[in-house]
Structure 1
Amino acid sequence: MEQANKDRSLVSKVMDGLVTGIVEEKYGAILPPQDVLSKEFDVSRTVMREALSMLLARDMLDVRPKIGTRIRPMSDWRMIDEDVVNWRFRAKPDPLFLRDVIEFRILIEPRASAQAAARGSAADIAAIREAFEAFRAIQPGESSYQAADELFHARIMVASGNQFFKQMAAIIRGALSTVNPIVNQKDGLWERAVSTHQRVLEAIERRDPKEAEIASLAMIDYATEEIGNKLTSEPSERG
């Protein structure tokens, strides 16, 4: 059992290293042969084979005869997988990806906020309030700012009572980690962020689904405005 746990840990470590190399474009379009990768990571071929198979299962790689192991476009990766979500958000965001992040948030978060207002338990809503108070007490640039913002949004997803929305929390966290550094560059946006977050919270506390949905859209809109120029000035084609 101890050896099995050690092997799983090693496979995870190799996977993480491979993904880092992929998102940093270390390998180009085709991965080196397995024996070369095994030497690079100082692991057995068995461990390397298992790590590669895990990435294959997540639609990140494609094995082709006479070509080798091709790295698939990030747009093909299985984003519902939490590991893939975390890996994808490591890469430098491109305009198309930023657009997709915003569209995903617009689709999911307002509805989750409405459902939190309608379904959330008293404990769920108290947890959202607690997360907001922590968020309000921290300025952008402080080490715990990002975690506080992510917690606020994640607790809304939990309060929605929808098991699929709960599974989407990892994508929301990744979206925030991508968008916030862009948004927070402008003076005065922290005050606006606090205001829009508070509006969502208070609508949920009043058990007002319609207002919670509208407030959530407004919360996303302020971020959308700041990265809009990036989306339009750097056109990209889907891979």
Structure 2
Amino acid sequence: MVRRSTTSNREDMPLGGLMPVRGILGQVVSDLGRRIVAGEWKTDETLPTETELMDELKVGRSVVRESIRILNAKGLVRSRQMAGTTVMPRAVWRLLDPDLIQWRMQAADRKVLLKDLLQVRLTLEPGVVWAATANGSEAAKARIHAAWQGKIAVLHEESVTPEEQRQHFITHDLEFHRAFLAAVGSEILEQLFSVIEAALSLMIDVQMQARGSTTALVGMEETNQLHQDVYDAFAAGDAEGAERAMRHLIQSAIIDANRGFSLTE
């Protein structure tokens, strides 16, 4: 029978833009994909035969074959006649595939994924903020202003539970960064953010845990000030200042994330 995931609700959330394969086929693809990503089968190791997978997962041959075809398209495996299905090196995996990101979030590979995403952000986001500040349209800049106001409002929310306030903080933090990306006018960048958004949400969780927050907004004054610095430079039309502030913000996030990872080791 297909194994059920034991991960938390947040980690089970489908990624933005993901069009899942549904039904028993989707379950088998996810089961095998998670197991490969988690290292149950190593690079160049052969997966069980079709018959063995049919017996283990309690599915028909067509489901097994289609599942392997999908995993092959994602770069995880390669099937060869007489040689069976082998696991491919990570270098050829489609690492931006939403399913792969989801499976890595659910596996022991999560820490590597989140650290990698922070480096992506450090490389891209300062330039994104510069471009949004220097060249964004009035409508795009209005969205950034609104996103910032929403983010600030969360800190003064009343009549909500600490858990709800914390989730609102994460939602508005993501929208703040998303609004800058949208201002650049690049469909590729927007799609990239859409693909990694669930992982970024989890990464914010790790940062918040490092500051002593597991269920509520605790110790977030410094990170909020770092975001304030980005916004103030943007609002003043200072593209270089906004770029520097965003670089400082993400460098601080890297420190927080490393501290959060050390708490869970």
User: Which residue of the partner structure matches residue 71 of structure 1?
Assistant: 87
> How far is the alpha carbon of 1:227 from its aligned partner?
3.7
Preserved contact between residue 183 and residue 189 of structure 1 (Cα < 8 Å): no
Select which of 53, 57, 74 maps to 2:73.
Answer: 57
Compute the TM-score of the two structures, normalised by the length of structure 1: 0.75
Preserved contact between residue 38 and residue 44 of structure 1 (Cα < 8 Å): yes
Preserved contact between residue 146 and residue 177 of structure 1 (Cα < 8 Å): yes
Select which of 182, 186, 199 maps to 1:158.
Answer: 182
Preserved contact between residue 36 and residue 76 of structure 2 (Cα < 8 Å): no
User: Which residue of the partner structure matches residue 124 of structure 1?
Assistant: 140
Q: Structure 2 matches for 1:141-220, cutoff 5 A? A: 142-170=166-194, 172-184=196-208, 185-187=210-212, 189-220=219-250
> How far is the alpha carbon of 1:169 from its aligned partner?
0.4
Counterpart Cα distance in 2 of 1:155 and 1:44: 46
Q: Structure 2 matches for 1:98-137, cutoff 5 A? A: 98-136=114-152, 137=154
Question: CA distance change for structure 1 residues 148 and 32 in 2, over 3 Å: closer, same or farther?
Answer: farther
Q: Secondary structure at the match of 2:185?
A: coil
Select which of 14, 24, 28 maps to 2:41.
Answer: 28
Counterpart Cα distance in 2 of 1:192 and 1:167: 30
> How far is the alpha carbon of 1:41 from its aligned partner?
4.2
Preserved contact between residue 34 and residue 104 of structure 2 (Cα < 8 Å): no
For residues 48-100 of structure 1, the C-alpha deviation after alignment (integer angstroms, 9 at most, x for no partner) is: 32222122112122335665323345454212333333333333356654543
Q: Secondary structure at the match of 2:129?
A: helix
Compute the TM-score of the two structures, normalised by the length of structure 2: 0.69
User: Which residue of the partner structure matches residue 254 of structure 2?
Assistant: 224
Counterpart Cα distance in 2 of 1:156 and 1:182: 23
Preserved contact between residue 179 and residue 223 of structure 1 (Cα < 8 Å): no
User: Which residue of the partner structure matches residue 89 of structure 1?
Assistant: 105
Counterpart Cα distance in 1 of 2:27 and 2:186: 32
Unaligned 5+ runs, structure 2: 1-19, 156-161, 213-217
Question: CA distance change for structure 1 residues 85 and 132 in 2, over 3 Å: closer, same or farther?
Answer: farther
Alignment length (residue pairs): 225
Question: CA distance change for structure 1 residues 145 and 86 in 2, over 3 Å: closer, same or farther?
Answer: farther
> How far is the alpha carbon of 1:134 from its aligned partner?
3.4
Counterpart Cα distance in 1 of 2:148 and 2:109: 27
Counterpart Cα distance in 2 of 1:40 and 1:135: 48
Counterpart Cα distance in 2 of 1:130 and 1:162: 20
Counterpart Cα distance in 2 of 1:156 and 1:73: 35
CA RMSD in angstroms, aligned pairs only:
3.3
Counterpart Cα distance in 1 of 2:134 and 2:62: 51
> How far is the alpha carbon of 1:24 from its aligned partner?
4.5
> How far is the alpha carbon of 1:40 from its aligned partner?
4.3
Q: Secondary structure at the match of 2:96?
A: coil
Counterpart Cα distance in 2 of 1:91 and 1:155: 30
User: Which residue of the partner structure matches residue 237 of structure 1?
Assistant: none
Unaligned 5+ runs, structure 1: 1-6, 233-239
The residue type paired with residue 59 of structure 1 is G
The residue type paired with residue 211 of structure 2 is K
